A and B are shown apart, each in its own frame.
Chain A
Amino acid sequence: MSTTKSLAYVRKEMLDQQPAPRSQVGFTRWARDNLFSGWFNTVLTLVSLFVIYKVLAATLPWIFGGVWNADSLAQCRVIMNEAYGNTHHACWAVIHERWNQLLYGFYPETQYWRANLAFVLMLASLAPVLFDKVPRKMLYLTMAFPFLLVWLVWGGTIWGVTSVAFGFALGGIAFKLVDRFGSMALSAIAAVAVAAVWWLFIGPSVVEGLNSVAPLGHLEEVQSRDLGGFMICVIIGISGIALSLPIGIVLALGRQSDLFIVKTICVGFIEFIRGVPLITLLFTASLLLNYFLPPGTTFDLTLRVIIMVTLFSSAYMAEVIRGGLAALPKGQYEAADALGLDYWKAQRLIIMPQALKISIPGIVNTFIGLFKDTTLVMFIGIYDMLGLSNAIRANAAWNGIYWELFIFIGGVFWICCFAMSRYSQWLERKLRTDHR
């Protein structure tokens, strides 16, 4: 211990912030830290670069040297032989020639504009949901879109879909009227009952009457079996996504409910659906459901598939959202309670916005899974893109072509799923307010 030095120290002035040394910032620093830190990592970097070069050297000529114009695989090969002296190149001509089929399936060619219009309207009605900068008035289009979609894609007069929409409106009015008496459950039951009565008993005859008197906006009718390709994927995928989120929320809340019956039903539903492969549910939809329905009812196949896909992913969604709910501190519930917010208001204003934000990665994961699972419909005889690739190969002209079709289909799905993924990351960043 030194006795001569005093322990006392007083700083005379506080220091200003200084810039970091030059060698500690920028690309050089990054490359040194991440690529060439030590001899072992340097070797790994060089080996990796070599492997990447080899893979690209093999695939890029195949992809970019491909043939785009030909009528058959055989003709493709002739062209390749003339140009390169071998056949080691892609035959993209199949995509070129069957482009419309891959997009629309067997939809009547003269009616493609309807599918295109529906697609544009879909993008327009998604915009206000995805981006809050878009004018809120566009949400009216979003609400009308499901009915426009059905009318445009399946055709018929506007009365059928108007009647369905009217049923929803009646249900809404019934809900509002009964809600005055205070019971949430009662008003929900009333809404469902009123809407069901309209849809099952009154609506159909009104529609028939209107159709014979004034067949307004009649479009050529298209059967569900003629839908296919990318179009059917989008219809099933987007419907499933849009419906499974709200149903998932309700199931997640139901699973946490104090009401024994509600809780049991929700848990039973979730565990049953999650325990069964999707393909089983799809076979049920395509084959068995008709046995359970009253004789004479025709229930559109696409609609049945949408219902099954929705139920399937809503069970997963419920569990994802339950994870988000569990991650919320108990204090949030208590603060909402202490301010006098009732259960539904607390859920809507405090709990759900936060729980959903936490669950975004899981929710989008489920969405992506659902979208890709739409390819399973080929097993119940719906010609989605994969189903069509089989059909295309069945034609003598394209017999034996695999890679090009699968790469194309994979690419289409990848673009859609990657877009969802990027959107979800953007949304997460945008909603990050906790500044941890």
Chain B
Amino acid sequence: MSQAVERQIDRSNMTVSDEVAIQITNMNKWYGEFHVLRDINLTVNRGERIVIAGPSGSGKSTMIRCINRLEEHQQGKIIVDGTELTSDLKNIDKIRSEVGMCFQHFNLFPHLTILENCTLAPMWVRKTPKREAEEIAMHFLEKVKIPDQAHKYPGMLSGGQQQRVAIARSLCMKPRIMLFDEPTSALDPEMIKEVLDTMIELAEEGMTMLCVTHEMGFARQVANRVIFMDQGQIVEQNEPEEFFNNPKSERTKLFLSQILGH
């Protein structure tokens, strides 16, 4: 599974500050009777790049989806950028506009062009004038290296290109935190690298990132912390070097042997 990330990473901006970006305390979540997330405690500082790994059904996607309230938690506290997530819609919209998210299936809007996908939220949420929003959008489309596709529709792009557009679309809102929910899982092997490269560039600029991913090469090179989840709980977390070379829990060892085994 691991994809070799070849190029040298510029670590000059990849600093972790003392400022807390996300704080999750004693968070629990149920789907009906099923206890999906159990007593999650996690503090993310600004500038951290966290990779969340674990078997399917372990609750890793659900956890990051709680951070921008795509899923509602029933117990405990989640504080994002100093704002607590409650059922208050104003807070939710505020947090969502500051937290970018990329999905496994990109979720671009198929009825809008690439450019319109990128300008929509800045224009309607941030009230940015159209021309300015388009300039911002082109800036980020250049950054993900697809400015020439701006007037095409998402259906005309390859999966890798679509995912890069999705990243650009999130960046247009100038988020302070980015969430990635298995961004490369639906991609052909040839396209995984271009998306990972874009994510690495983002990390190099000091973005706070939480990534649910199976790309262990990416985790090794970019993450400053790897979290392993199983059965709705955080089982182990450590620096990538220690996590991969010297896992402590039996469950982690088994998981690593299964995904790195061949």
Contact = CB atoms under 8 A, between A and B. Distances in A.
Interface of A: 329, 331-332, 334-335, 337-342, 345, 349-350, 353-354, 357, 431, 433-436
Contact of A339 (B69, B110, B121, B155): B121
Interface in B84-133: 89, 93-94, 96-97, 99-101, 103, 105, 107-111, 120-121, 124-125
Contacts of A331: 103, 105, 107
Max chain B C-beta neighbours (<10 A), residue from A335, A341, A342, A345:
A335
B96 A354 contact: no
25 contacts: A329-B105, A329-B107, A331-B103, A334-B107, A335-B109, A337-B70, A338-B101, A339-B96, A339-B97, A339-B120, A339-B170, A339-B173, A340-B94, A340-B97, A341-B121, A345-B125, A350-B120, A431-B111, A433-B110, A433-B153, A433-B155, A434-B110, A434-B153, A434-B155, A435-B155
A433 B99 CA distance: 29
B225 interface: no
Nearest 3 A/B pairs, CB to CB: A340-B97, A335-B107, A331-B107
Given A335-B103, A433-B153, A435-B156, A342 B120 contact: no
Interface residues of B, number: 28
A354 B94 CA distance: 26
A433 B111 contact: yes
B103 A339 contact: no
B169 interface: yes
A434 B109 CA distance: 10
Contacts of A345: 124-125
Contacts of A342: 89, 93
Given A329-B107, A339-B97, A433-B155, 7 more contacts: A339-B96, A339-B173, A340-B96, A340-B125, A342-B93, A353-B111, A434-B153
Contacts of A433: 110-111, 153, 155
A338 B111 contact: no
Contacts of A431: 111
Nearest to A354: B111
Contacts of A334: 70, 103, 107
A350 B156 CA distance: 19
A341 B68 CA distance: 13
A339 B125 contact: yes
B208 to A, nearest CB: 16
A350 B153 CA distance: 14
A354 B111 CA distance: 7
Contacts of A357: 111
A150 B136 CA distance: 49
B137 to A, nearest CB: 13
B109 A332 contact: yes
B109 A350 contact: yes
A339 B98 CA distance: 9
A349 B124 contact: yes
Contacts of B105: 329, 331
A354 B108 CA distance: 12
B233 to A, nearest CB: 25
Contacts of B110: 354, 433-434
A27 to B, nearest CB: 33
A341 B124 contact: yes
Interface string B157-184: 0000000000001100100000000000
A342 B127 CA distance: 13
A341 B93 CA distance: 7
B75 to A, nearest CB: 21
Interface string B198-209: 000000000000
A337 B107 contact: no
A337 B101 CA distance: 10
A65 to B, nearest CB: 53
A19 B68 CA distance: 54
A349 B94 CA distance: 19
